[in-house]
Structure formats: C-alpha cells, structure tokens
Amino acid sequence: MTPEHDLRLRLEEARRINRLMREQMPRDLPGGEWKGWMRQLSDLLEAPLPAEPAREHFVHWACPKCGRQRINIRHSEQDEWACAACDLSATPPPAPVAGDAQVAHAITVPPPAHWLWMSAVDLAPRLDALEATERERHAKIRERLHDLEERCETLQARCNLNADHAAKLGNRADAACKRLDALEERAAFYDDCIQSHIKRLDAAERDVSGWKTDHASSAAALASRITYGDKERGALAERVAENFSALYGLLSDADRARCRAALLRHPTATLPPATVPMAVAQEAAEALLETTLNQTATNTRRARRAIDALVAAGVKPP
C-alpha cells in the first residue's frame, strides 16, 4: 500500500466519523469551544479538493516529544517540520523510522490542513474525553436546572402567600377607607352643628348686649324713679305723721289708752315715720277719720287695726 493510498483511506475514515458525529450530535449542545471545533473540523473534512494539486512531500517521522509516529508535511525544501499532535518544531528533523523511506509523491491535499491526517485511533481518546466532559457538564446543568426548578416552586409558593396577604391587606384597607369616609361625614356634620351653634351664640351675645343696654337704661330710669319716690315718700310720711298726730288728738281717752297698750305690745316699733308704707298710712288716716266722725264698733275695730299696722310699721304716736 502506497502512502498516498493510506492517506486516502484515512481521509475517508475521518469523513465517515464526521458524518456519524453530525448525525448523533445533539442540536442544543452547549459549550462554544467544543461546538466551534467540531464545526470547523466538519467543514474542513467535507471541503472539496483543489483542482490543481499542490506539490508536497511527506515523510513518516517519529516525534521526539510524544514518541509516536506522525506524518510530516513538508511545504518546502527547507528542514522544517511540525508534529500534528504536539505541534513540536525542530531543525533539522529527526531520523526517520526504521523501515520507512523518504518518498515524494504528488498528493491533492490543502497545505493548511496538515493536522487533519491524524488517524481515527488517535482521535478516539480525545473524543471520548470530550464526550465524558460534556456528559459531566450536562449532569451539572441538569442538577442546576433541578435546583432552579425547586427554587422557582418555592418562590411561587411564597408569591402565592404574598398575594393572599396582599389581598387581605387590601380588604382591610378598603374597610379602613370606608370607616374613614364615615368618620369624615360625621366630622362634617359636627362641623355644621358647631357652626350653627356659633351663629346662635353670636346672636345671643348680640341680644345680651342689647339687653344689657336696655337693662342699664331701665335701671337708670328705675333708680331715678326710686329717688323721686323716696323723696315723695318722705314728704308723704311727714304729712301722714302730722295727720296721725292730729287724728290722735281727736281720740277719746279710752282709744288713746288702747293705742298706748298697742305701742307697749310692740316695743320694737322705733322706725321713723318716713319708712311707713303709703297704703298703711292712708288706711290708718281713713280709719282714724271715720272713727272720729262716726263712733261705731266697726269703725273702732278698723281704727284699732290701722293703729296696730302703724305701730308695727314703726310709727310712734305723739
């Protein structure tokens, strides 16, 4: 088997693995680096070969770093080479593997894709490791999603409780608003009552001030009338006393004795004649006058009552 044929077989194997991976790869695979690497690998494997082949030389070498046999693609006649696995560069290249010969062939491969000619056996461990890493990552994501779902359920329950509590608070607030409206109505009613009472008090104060003025004027008039009455009363009392003295002189000795006895029965009759009421003095004068003119039993009794009234009022006989 020629080296060119071996490379062709390896390229077909890589393309077959690429198609299987495309079919089995999940659509929602996370991870930007792994996804980008697989997309780039797929695009390079499925790219068509160039129309004009590039003149390249290939030699089987043993890598001095990893110790595995690799394919060295030499792009020029210079002694530069690169390992596809560890990307180790050295000058000059190491000795060839025993049994291999440096043979130059014209192959149709693009120069930048020299690392794609790795064998499927070398790619399998890396793919397995990447798959295990992605599985672990998927498991962690599932656990995280499960935790997030539990937290969402807890938050939903708390939201429901908060909604119930908010509804209760809203009902209490509505009841408080209704009570506040009722209190405001009662306060407005009381304000109206207070205003009406204030108006009534103002009217009463005006009435009282008018009454005070009227009473003051009435009191002044009454005081003047009392003063005038006192003067008239004093003059009338003097006249009554004079008339009483004159009438007393007309009485008989018996009537005078009874008058003296009446005076003795009223020892407290010491008031001056000016304080005798006008009606009492007038009645006494009329009684004495009738007793003097007509000596009858009725007139005598009337005169005695008049004298007793005068004595009780404080009139002293002459």
Q: What is the CA radius of gyration of the chain?
A: 74
Q: Please tell me the predicted confidence (pLDDT) of residue 161.
A: 92
User: Does the pLDDT at position 222 exceed 70?
Assistant: yes
> Does pLDDT of 149 surpass 80?
yes
Q: What is the mean pLDDT of the chain?
A: 66
Position 57 scores a pLDDT of: 43
Report whether 296 contacts 223 (CB < 8 A): no
Q: What is the pLDDT of residue 211?
A: 82
* Six-digit token string for 289: 């006058």
Average pLDDT over residues 254-282: 53
Residues 80-115: pLDDT tens digits?
Answer: 445 555 554 444 444 444 444 433 333 333 433 444
d(CA 284, CA 308): 9
Q: Does pTM surpass 0.75?
A: no
pLDDT tier, 205 (very low <50, low <70, confident <90, very high otherwise): confident
Q: How far apart are CA 197 and CA 203, in angstroms?
A: 10
Q: Poorest-confidence range of 177-191, 194-208, 264-278?
A: 264-278
- Give me the pLDDT at residue 73, please: 44
Is it the case that residue 55 has pLDDT exceeding 70?
no
Pick 173 or 90 by higher pLDDT.
173
Quick one: average pLDDT of 139-152?
90
- Top-confidence residue, 280 or 104: 280
Asked if 120 and 10 count as a contact pair (C-beta separation under 8 A), the reply is yes
pLDDT at 176 over 50: yes
Q: Give the bridge partners for 61, in sequence order.
A: 70, 96
Predicted confidence (pLDDT) at residue 134 exceeds the cutoff of 80: yes
